[in-house]
Amino acid sequence: MTCRIANKDVWVEGRFPRIAKLVAEYVEWVEDPHRFVAQLQEEPVNADIFSFIQKGISERFPRYRFYHEWDQLAVLQITTYEAWWKNQIKTQERNRIRKAQKSNVELRLLSFDHELMKQIKELYDESPLRQGQPLVYYNQSLEQLWKEHGRFLERSQFIGAFHDEELIGFAKLVHGGEISNIVKLIAKLGHRDKAPSNALLAKAVEVCADRGVRYLGYSTWGRRGLGDFKRNHAFVPFAMPRYFVPLNLKGKLALSLRMHKRVSEILPPKLLDAAAAWRAKLNSWRFAKR
């Protein structure tokens, strides 16, 4: 369920408790949490708790008296592109970026238009699975993709990776003061040997360095899959306060019983790894049957 509150898209997940969050919470912020919570309570939003991340990355001390926990964001600190290239990333990633160059992968800054969306749709429709999980954009209509990818255009940049004029990968950067965020980065599986994902990330760092951006964010920190990719490119876990504000009595009860946590946040890491491996095999079997 998605609704619009104070010109921001809010979505609600879960059954009990039902938790409301900003749809684009890593690139969009709540300026006045107290006022926003009051608006949520006035609107017909079927949620028990509102959860949000504190704005600003240089100040990580909790500003508000709401109950909070710590989100681990994946963040790269940038001084210059040269410093990142020489001193921060792993040797194997430098070699992959060089491989992309030798494979004639061309990187371009792109305009957001219908031709780009057609190419992006072709990229998404290559496979229904990524990292062992269903790809949410697989077989979506151009209209749906246009709406999703057209958010924050006034402060966004699109980077394309091309091989023989074919779009084999793209990234979307959203800039926001001292931090820019990679909100999309995906490449065609059939061109994985050319390391387009590595080349796209390197170009994102270069773009940010040229703009004088101090930090580059890439969603949350993780142990599996993209976690290694981020780690090898010099991203580190960056703790930021995440607040949980009850909107009603059910929300207060859920917070007091710690029922706002997802199962994945409670289970031991080894059990999570085993479950993820089993899920990946199950998804591969399911989609192979289609």
Q: Note down pLDDT in tens along the chain; length 290 residues.
A: 788 888 899 999 988 999 999 999 989 999 899 999 999 998 888 899 999 999 888 777 899 999 999 999 999 999 999 999 999 999 999 999 999 999 999 999 999 999 999 999 999 999 998 877 889 999 999 999 999 999 999 999 999 999 999 999 999 999 987 899 999 999 999 999 999 999 999 999 999 999 999 999 999 987 555 789 999 999 999 999 999 999 999 999 999 998 887 665 655 556 545 555 555 455 555 555 55
Residue 177 token pair? 């003061």
pLDDT, position 147 = 93
Residues 102 and 127 occupy one common structural domain: yes
pLDDT, position 201 = 98
The angle formed by the CA atoms of residues 207, 204 and 165, to the nearest 5 degrees, is: 100
Residue 222 within a domain = no
Residues 67 and 102 occupy one common structural domain: no
Residues 61 and 96 occupy one common structural domain: no
Asked if 195 contacts 38 with a C-beta cutoff of 8 angstroms, the reply is no
Residues 92 and 205 occupy one common structural domain: yes
DSSP 13: E
Residue 128 within a domain = yes
- Encoded amino acid at 256, one letter: S
Asked if 216 contacts 176 with a C-beta cutoff of 8 angstroms, the reply is no
- Residues 22 and 279: their CA atoms lie apart, in Å, by 28
Whole-angstrom CA distances from 189 to 124, 151, 161, 196 are 10, 26, 13, 10
Residues 27 and 122 occupy one common structural domain: no
Residue 122 within a domain = yes
- Residues 207 and 162: their CA atoms lie apart, in Å, by 17
Residue 167 token pair? 């779009």
Residue 224 within a domain = no
Residues 208 and 261 occupy one common structural domain: no
Of 106, 100, 99, nearest to 163 by C-alpha is: 106
Structural domain of residue 198, as residue ranges? 79-213
